[in-house]
Structure 1
Amino acid sequence: MCFARLAGIAGIGFVVILVAANLLLTAAGFPTPSEAASLDEITTVFAAGSGSLRLASALLPAAWLLATVFAVGVCVCLRRDERARTDPWSLVGLAGVLMQSVVFTSVEATRLALTSAAQHDAGGVAGLWGLYTALFGFNQVFLAIALVGLSMFGVRTGATARWHAGTGLLAAALLFATATTSPYGVDGVNPLALLGLVGWLLWLVWIMAYSIILIRRAPEPSARMPHPVR
């Protein structure tokens, strides 16, 4: 299997895992960033839903691996000229993908710590919840960086349609605005949380579209195999 097709499949797998993990958490009653919840409600949910949270968290290492393969595939496989140097915008996008994986590791670790605190030391829930919401909010800026970098790269190489790049840039703007206002949501709900949710959903659509591009642009096996010498 060529790397372009592998990267496209990785992008689709990344989206599937994220949707599955979020459905698990939603079904268990975990509050979303756009949903107001009291400290007592947060403590109750994290104390009772540890099984669902652990299962969702166990899926994420695979998601981060797939996201990295996807981003590298975009950077390497969609260049116009294989001999040309790497486009700077592709490096911006790759950096955004890698940084969001690093920061979201901290988000997920804090969420697991909330489960432990809710079960054994409820007094630490408030501080950990504040840390979680701050990390979750600021992480959106790295999603925005990935969207801007890889959208600009797609436009410059002619790999993406205008609607696709426009979707990526719109999602980046919404996520960046939400990240900027995240300090105002540490003790409650970010006033732009719904915009962030829309930006996140657009980010998933954008990845799926990019993944299909990678799969379609992958050369057929017959085109890659050298003709036998007679």
Structure 2
Amino acid sequence: MSFARLAGIAGVGFVVILIVANLLLTAAGFPTPSEAVSRDEITTVFAAGAGSLRLASALLPLAWLLATIFAVGVCVCLRRDEQTRADPWSLVGLAGVLMQSVVFTSVEATRLALISAARHDSGVAGLWGLYTALFGFNQVFLATALLGLSMFGIRTGSIARWHAGIGLLAATLLLVTATTSPYGVGSVNPLALLGLTGWLLWLAWIVAYSVILIRRAPGPAAA
């Protein structure tokens, strides 16, 4: 199997894992960082839903690995044949994917720590504030990935303008939401819906890029 095809499958797998993990958390009643919830509500749901949270979190290491393979696949397998070095925009996109994985590791670790805090009724409010702040700021790295890889796709002719347009729109929405995320700590970010829209567009953008990678014929860069 060529690396291009492997990277495309990895991108689809990444999206599937994220959807499954979020469905598990939604079914268990976990609040999103944009919801207005009391300390008692947070304590109750994290104390009662530890099993679902652990299962969802256990899926994420594989998701981060798949995201890295996908991003490297885009950067390497979709370069022009005459390019002798990496395009700067591809490096911006790859950096964004790697940074979102690093920061979201902290997001998930904080969310898992809330299980212990909820059971011992200690530090719940502080950890929830840290979780919402990390979650909000992480969106800037999604925006970075979308911007870099969309610009790279346009420069190399690998993606259509509508595809790049989705990426740039999603990047704008996520950047705006990340910028206003401090106002969501201890409250509700008034622009949280924009972030959700950007995140959904990010998933669609990855699937579209993955299809391009899967369909790409093996070549010297993809071997």
- Measured against the shorter chain, the TM-score band is over 0.9
Q: Which secondary structure does the structure 2 equivalent of 1:181 belong to?
A: helix
Identify the residue that residue 71 of structure 1 maps to in structure 2: 71
- Determine the C-alpha separation between the residues in 2 that align with 1:26 and 1:6: 30
Q: Which amino acid aligns with 1:197?
A: L
Q: 1:47 to 1:124 in 2, by over 3 A?
A: same
Unaligned stretches of 5+ residues in structure 2:
none
- Determine the C-alpha separation between the residues in 2 that align with 1:6 and 1:101: 19
Identify the residue that residue 228 of structure 1 maps to in structure 2: none
Identify the residue that residue 161 of structure 1 maps to in structure 2: 160
**TM-score, scaled to structure 1:** 0.94
Identify the residue that residue 25 of structure 1 maps to in structure 2: 25
- Determine the C-alpha separation between the residues in 2 that align with 1:189 and 1:31: 12
Deviations 1:36-71 (A, max 9, x none): 211111110000000000000000000000000000
Q: Which amino acid aligns with 2:175?
A: F
1:99 aligns with 2:99: yes
Deviations 1:9-50 (A, max 9, x none): 000000000000000000000011232211111110000000
Q: Which amino acid aligns with 1:199?
A: G
- Determine the C-alpha separation between the residues in 1 that align with 2:17 and 2:217: 23
Q: Which secondary structure does the structure 2 equivalent of 1:86 belong to?
A: coil
- Determine the C-alpha separation between the residues in 2 that align with 1:119 and 1:78: 49
Q: Which amino acid aligns with 2:88?
A: P
Count of residues paired in the alignment: 221
When the two chains are superposed, the root-mean-square deviation of aligned CA atoms in Å is 1.4
Q: Which amino acid aligns with 1:14?
A: F
- Determine the C-alpha separation between the residues in 2 that align with 1:124 and 1:35: 19
Identify the residue that residue 45 of structure 1 maps to in structure 2: 45
After superposition, where does 1:66-215 map in structure 2 within 5 Å?
66-81=66-81, 83-120=83-120, 122-215=121-214
| Structure 1 runs of 4+ with >6 Å offset | none
- Determine the C-alpha separation between the residues in 1 that align with 2:184 and 2:111: 17
- Determine the C-alpha separation between the residues in 2 that align with 1:128 and 1:182: 16
Identity, % of aligned positions: 85
- Determine the C-alpha separation between the residues in 1 that align with 2:38 and 2:103: 25
Identify the residue that residue 8 of structure 1 maps to in structure 2: 8
Between structure 1 and structure 2, the one with the greater Rg is: 1
- Determine the C-alpha separation between the residues in 2 that align with 1:40 and 1:55: 23
- Determine the C-alpha separation between the residues in 1 that align with 2:217 and 2:181: 40
Deviations 1:179-229 (A, max 9, x none): 000100000111111100000000000000000000011339xxx99xxxx
Deviations 1:131-180 (A, max 9, x none): 00000000000000000000000000000001100000000000000000
Unaligned stretches of 5+ residues in structure 1:
226-230
